[in-house]
Structure 1
Amino acid sequence: MLTSQDIEFFVSLAQSKSLAATARKLNVTPPSVSQRLQALEQKLNVTLVKRGSRATSLTVEGEILLQKGLAVLQQIVLLEDNIIEEKQAISGKLRIVAPIGYGAERVAPLVAEFKQMYPLTQVELMLSDTPSWSHRDPPDILIYIGQLKDSSLTRIVLSKNQRLLLASPSYLQHQAAINCPTDLINHKCIALQENNDDVTLWKFTHKKTGALKSIRIAAALTCNLGSVVKEWAINGHGIIQRSQWNVVNELKNNKLQVILPEYALPTADIVALVSSNRNSRPAKVNCFIDFLKAHLAEKS
């Protein structure tokens, strides 16, 4: 009979590049990993892993065991949560993936505060300029800004957010007037490379008429860090699109001004992406999502 220890072992193996890497992760010898894998394959009477000289890959049966096994392990965690005290349920490892800029400025301080409130948790925050969901090694929560790409994930809005078209007063003072999106073709535009999006196709919706307009800009500057893009704009190097949360102070201090306010850019709500509904999630995940929603709403 397959045991939870068998599943945990195979998940560790599947998430490693080689048997040697699995051995290092489990702090055992490579031969013991190979022997345990052989025993598991004999128990199931299937081949789970294709052995290569430098790396391993999963067979079809191995992929099934990985995906189903991850679901079983999650159910075990959920069962443990349901049979211990409410406070004790908020414990264990919590893995979060978030965008670099938003994650560092807004999420990281809340992670530290959450850890203080629930000392039995171990929170791992991974920041990326292209945050994405890994089905092989999934996080508990993926914090995302913008349009949802994977419809199989559950989307929870943490904070409303909109994109703005912006430039510095110094730039606008010395450039031709911008009365409609088409005028941007003759201006210096700055692109933020994020989420593997088409960053030079800027889309606009007229707020009154609902008319849609898309403009293909020629990016004078491009970067994958929002802080760099914003600084370029503040220094008068061109026009940017940025999330409202990121430019509150710059708008207040008149370092940046909104352009074409009669047009709306695509929405960019701050969302949490998870793999299951609330009743199927561990208590620690639901608790952290509720904590984020309460605190991020205060700052929106």
Structure 2
Amino acid sequence: MDTLEAMTIFLRVVERGSFSAVARELGLSQPTISKQIGALENRLGGRLFARSTRNLSLTDEGQRYYEHCRQILAAVDHAEHSFQTGQERVAGPLRIASSGSFGRIQIAPRLHGFLQQHPDVTIDLQLSDENVDLVSEGIDVAVRIGELKDSGLIARPIGLTRRRVFAAPSYLEQHGVPATPDDLSDHNCLVFNQLEQSDHWRFEHSGQSRTIQVQGNVRSNNSEAIRQMVLSGLGLSLSPSWLFREDVQAGRVLALLDEYTPSSLPIHAVFPADRRQSARVRAFIDYLRDAFALDDDVCLG
């Protein structure tokens, strides 16, 4: 039995909470995973998991062993990185998390180019507008937009997403066109509430910063829903430029107040502090950062 391999599998089973999930992740059969855990338990002389038909939980001894394994494998990874100095082969599974809209518009179309450069990588792209727990979901790297809370994650800035105020022609015909940010108080502002102070919109103009508190009759945690509401003529929104790029080109919406620059949102790649930043994670982060540098709507900070 390869003890380090068995410890790695044990860690993944704890983090995913399922033998079958780890088997799919590693491309192995579930009996193979069970056999590795059984061999590890035989070596240790005790149970790691308190098994039941409904869930998989650690024994007290298993919990202590898990904490030791995390430290040991982190030390091994650090030693390998120190020796390899970035020469590790880019290969293996890569599990990525992103918000739904950003993942669909900005990440999914770029995966083809990344995989052409690194054909030995396999990708599992998970999209959700909620910030998932990276450890429990087995995420290698997540792309997050907006200011980060102190979560114990390692974060690398990879760009900025520009924003603009958008509205449909039908809405503007009925309610008029705002000439300055102050005019927004007279409009129905649709709020994406996944951001801090989501109803406070900040603009820059002639070196001056101004924050406007907006109001509206709908808010949502999904940017695609905000887009659909804007298209329907319900109100206007402060949204990422990339979200409405095709709509502006087609004339379905108009960008407003362009002489007043809304604050951009930082984009970070984040990953757990105690997990190895593998060559495939580094390669993917570098690829996204280079791609964003060429995008007018998602730029380098």
* CA–CA distance in structure 2, aligned partners of residues 83 and 34 of structure 1: 29
Q: Tell whether 2:57 aligns with 1:57.
A: yes
Report the equivalent of 2:189: 189
State the Cα RMSD in Å: 4.1
* CA–CA distance in structure 2, aligned partners of residues 223 and 23 of structure 1: 33
Task: Confirm or deny: 8 A CA contact 1:187 1:238 kept in the other structure.
Answer: yes
- After TM superposition, list the pairs within 5 Å mapping 1:43-122 onto structure 2: 48-51=48-51, 54-58=54-58, 62-63=62-63, 65-66=65-66, 69-70=69-70, 72-73=72-73, 79=80, 86=87, 89-122=89-122
Report the equivalent of 1:212: 211
Task: Confirm or deny: 8 A CA contact 1:91 1:284 kept in the other structure.
Answer: yes
For residues 255-293 of structure 1, the C-alpha deviation after alignment (integer angstroms, 9 at most, x for no partner) is 32334446554532332123459xx73222222221111
* CA–CA distance in structure 2, aligned partners of residues 237 and 251 of structure 1: 17
Q: Tell whether 2:261 aligns with 1:258.
A: no
- After the TM superposition, which of the residue ranges 174-183 and 22-31 deviates more from structure 2? 22-31
Q: Tell whether 2:273 aligns with 1:270.
A: no
Task: Confirm or deny: 8 A CA contact 2:134 2:140 kept in the other structure.
Answer: no
Q: CA deviation at 1:99?
A: 1.9
Structure 2 alignment gaps of length 5 or more: 297-301
- Percent of aligned positions that are identical: 23
- Aligned AA (1:273): V
Q: CA deviation at 1:243?
A: 0.3
Task: Confirm or deny: 8 A CA contact 2:16 2:138 kept in the other structure.
Answer: no
- The alpha-carbon distance between structure 1 residues 225 and 100, as it changes in their structure 2 partners (threshold 3 A), is same
- The alpha-carbon distance between structure 1 residues 282 and 29, as it changes in their structure 2 partners (threshold 3 A), is closer
* CA–CA distance in structure 2, aligned partners of residues 32 and 64 of structure 1: 21
Q: CA deviation at 1:115?
A: 1.5
Report the equivalent of 1:287: 283
Q: CA deviation at 1:175?
A: 0.7
Task: Confirm or deny: 8 A CA contact 1:6 1:40 kept in the other structure.
Answer: no
Report the equivalent of 2:132: 132
- The alpha-carbon distance between structure 1 residues 165 and 71, as it changes in their structure 2 partners (threshold 3 A), is farther
Structure 1 alignment gaps of length 5 or more: none
Task: Confirm or deny: 8 A CA contact 2:19 2:30 kept in the other structure.
Answer: no
Task: Confirm or deny: 8 A CA contact 1:82 1:89 kept in the other structure.
Answer: no
Q: Tell whether 2:29 aligns with 1:5.
A: no
Q: Tell whether 2:244 aligns with 1:244.
A: no
Task: Confirm or deny: 8 A CA contact 1:164 1:244 kept in the other structure.
Answer: yes
Q: CA deviation at 1:38?
A: 4.5
* CA–CA distance in structure 1, aligned partners of residues 253 and 280 of structure 2: 40
Q: Tell whether 2:199 aligns with 1:201.
A: yes
Q: Tell whether 2:149 aligns with 1:149.
A: yes
* CA–CA distance in structure 1, aligned partners of residues 268 and 220 of structure 2: 25
Q: Tell whether 2:30 aligns with 1:27.
A: yes
Number of matched pairs: 290
